[in-house]
Structure 1
């Protein structure tokens, strides 16, 4: 006797979609892809939340839903960047992170002196371009590491946006500033930050030498994460900077036009 195949519930459809996609999705996307109305989608999401199978994260003004697997990135980053994981080897004169990398603690004063020297030598713009590429290169390598941890492949930035923002947020928490807000824009986002290491350094120690935005390293770090997770090319510009009088530093990250 033939057994009738039980159709999937809306909750099962949503969970299956998120698992196959390997990234987050908004309620609007879930409704569009799965043919659900807003009420059906909310009811199914509530069911999955009660079963502890999904969680939501605020991205700008929108909530993005993802599977619990996404939390492995939190665990990985928390372990990697925990300040408790720094160990001093007095015999060798080294500080090592939990990953075994040898690190050095650099003060704002040191950074400001480096910036001021380059600016005084009339290499200001060149300096910012160079450090932006350095930051980008570091993040490209780290994005590869994160993708291996999560078992994901490059995809559109909206698919991996939650992961990108989480990775960048944790990087900021290691002393580079505070990510205050993520504002969606056409083909990208604006990252709004306070108390960035680079702007704070030059504001305190060499404000007279500031003629353009100063957060080249951090801008490069954001750019590298977007490109590393997606395999796409992006434009990255610092459109506002505290060192030039703005309340926040703002990074505009947008897909390059093909």
Structure 2
């Protein structure tokens, strides 16, 4: 299957499985959750994101075929991000590591925080990589717009 076809099918899946929610409503809801995250919700956000990302990747593997390459994985993840208006600035993907730089993260949009806030997004990226590439991956947001960064930047490393 060609890259353009993979991209369109993956993006179509995310667009058809989404529901409209005004950004201001989501922003208010999520900012309140972040205020509570000091009580140990960070791990729950990552785990929930991982499960959501894995579920999406399972569906895409059924749609696109089981034998997806690393480039196909990258195309699927980019399609997912762009379906939600997340602008991918940089995406380096290797067997054991990914560096993903995103502008317009819905989780950081309009929020000010001392800690990175895009935990569900990092988890989702890791969950997709686990399903597509096998193994276990851990996300870490190393820069966040909510903390004053220019972008939201994720390192996703394979656990040894």
Give the TM-score normalised by structure 2: 0.84
- Counterpart in the other structure of 1:238: 141
In 1, Cα distance between the equivalents of 2:95 and 2:84?
30
> Equivalent of 1:166, from 65, 71, 75?
75
In 1, Cα distance between the equivalents of 2:28 and 2:55?
28
- Counterpart in the other structure of 1:249: 152
The change in CA–CA distance for 1:119 and 1:195 in structure 2 (over 3 A counts) is closer
Stretches of structure 2 lacking an aligned partner (at least 5 in a row): none
**1:105 and 2:8 aligned:** no
- Counterpart in the other structure of 1:151: 65
Q: Secondary structure at the match of 2:135?
A: coil
Higher RCO structure, 1 or 2 (CA under 8 Å, sep 6+)? 2
**1:76 and 2:9 aligned:** yes
In 2, Cα distance between the equivalents of 1:152 and 1:119?
37
Give the TM-score normalised by structure 1: 0.55
> Equivalent of 2:30, from 115, 129, 132?
115
In 2, Cα distance between the equivalents of 1:109 and 1:79?
25
- Counterpart in the other structure of 1:13: none
Q: Secondary structure at the match of 2:115?
A: coil
Question: Retained in 2: the 8 A contact 1:236–1:253?
Answer: yes
Question: Retained in 2: the 8 A contact 1:112–1:201?
Answer: yes
The change in CA–CA distance for 1:184 and 1:79 in structure 2 (over 3 A counts) is closer
Q: Secondary structure at the match of 2:149?
A: coil
Question: Retained in 2: the 8 A contact 1:182–1:192?
Answer: yes
How big is each residue's C-alpha offset from its partner over 1:6-46, in whole Å with a ceiling of 9 and x where there is no partner?
xxxxxxxxxxxxxxxxxxxxxxxxxxxxxxxxxxxxxxxxx
In 1, Cα distance between the equivalents of 2:78 and 2:126?
13
The change in CA–CA distance for 1:125 and 1:164 in structure 2 (over 3 A counts) is farther
Question: Retained in 1: the 8 A contact 2:123–2:138?
Answer: no
Cα drift, residue 128 of structure 1: 3.0
How big is each residue's C-alpha offset from its partner over 1:131-150, in whole Å with a ceiling of 9 and x where there is no partner?
22222112211211222223
Question: Retained in 1: the 8 A contact 2:30–2:107?
Answer: no
Question: Retained in 1: the 8 A contact 2:50–2:128?
Answer: yes
> Equivalent of 2:115, from 188, 212, 215?
212
Stretches of structure 1 lacking an aligned partner (at least 5 in a row): 1-67, 83-96, 154-158
Cα drift, residue 254 of structure 1: 1.1
Cα drift, residue 236 of structure 1: 0.9
Mark the structure with the bigger radius of gyration. 1
Q: Secondary structure at the match of 1:252?
A: strand
- Counterpart in the other structure of 1:194: 103
Residues 16-31 of structure 1 aligned to structure 2 (within 5 Å): none
